[in-house]
Amino acid sequence: MESIAHKRPIIFPKRSRHAERSSCLRCGTCCAKGGAAFHTQDKELIRSGTIELKNLYTLREGEPVHDNVKGILMPAPCDIIKTKRRQNAPACIFFDPEPAGCRIYENRPLECRLLRCWDTRALEARYASDRLTRRDLLSEIGDLWSLVADHQRRCDYRAIWRFLDASPGPPIRRLPPEIHEMIRYDACLRQLMIQKGGMDAALMDFLLGRPLGETLGRFGFGPDTGEIAATPLPSGETAVTGSARLGFGALTARKKSTRS
């Protein structure tokens, strides 16, 4: 699954398209489109440090994602842990474009081992099953897992869409104060974990997912920079204008309409 923040979701090709092919051409096209999601079978790759947490990020439960098999927009049913992208490119962080190659090929995750662009049936069969979650990796680290779980509870995407559904409609949408508090808490916790806890900033996208203010911006609540588009009101409240609409349901409808 891909976050809707990425404007060009990967769609698995029809099997007949490459029916004449029976082996990989090592062209790098699959890797250049993005990284793999992790499954429970990949747990040891991470626990052993073969694949480091700083190279991963989490699409959190409830976050809108594009299902590459079903071709639909839907809330993530659970955590989806993925490899990060190369800087300023959609390609997997472990992909070397010239010459095309994978820096962890011998220890690549399950989805990479299953993917055959000429016949995607094996990958499609495992795509949505046995997802590896942050709980699987962190539950034995009591204090850290408690912090991550509390963040998920207090910054729940499903709650965000409920608050938006209950907020005033167009032409000006007031960003509910509950969402302001979520954004503030998310930003403060990251800063606290880095500055006071001495944690590597590169771990935050895995531990807490991408910054909430950034993802809300990418989901249509602000410009491409990821900043929340805010207009001061005389009352001192904050209004969101432009493309903001009624929560996940309307977000899904808008996404579908752009494809028709």
Asked if residue 161 and residue 250 are part of one domain, the reply reads: yes
pLDDT score of 6: 43
pLDDT score of 235: 34
Three-state DSSP class for residue 82:
strand
Q: 84-109, pLDDT tens digit by residue? A: 999 888 899 999 888 888 999 999 99
Asked if residue 234 and residue 175 are part of one domain, the reply reads: yes
Q: Which domain holds residue 13?
A: 2-134
Tokens for 47, please give them: 């626990």
Which of 88, 105, 134 is where one domain is finished?
134
Edge-to-edge strand list for the sheet holding 64-67: 2-3, 64-67, 72-75
Q: How many domains in the chain? A: 2
Which of 134, 166, 195 is where one domain is finished?
134
The arithmetic mean of pLDDT across residues 109-128, rounded, is 88
Report the distance separating Cα 37 and Cα 82, nearest Å. Answer: 4
- For the cut 70, the answer to whether the pLDDT of residue 172 exceeds it is no
What is this structure's pTM? 0.75
Which of 73, 108, 134 is where one domain is finished?
134
What values do phi and psi take at 86, rounded to 5? -65, 150
Burial of 226 from C-beta contacts in 10 A (0-12 / 13-18 / 19+): middle
Asked if residue 92 and residue 7 are part of one domain, the reply reads: yes
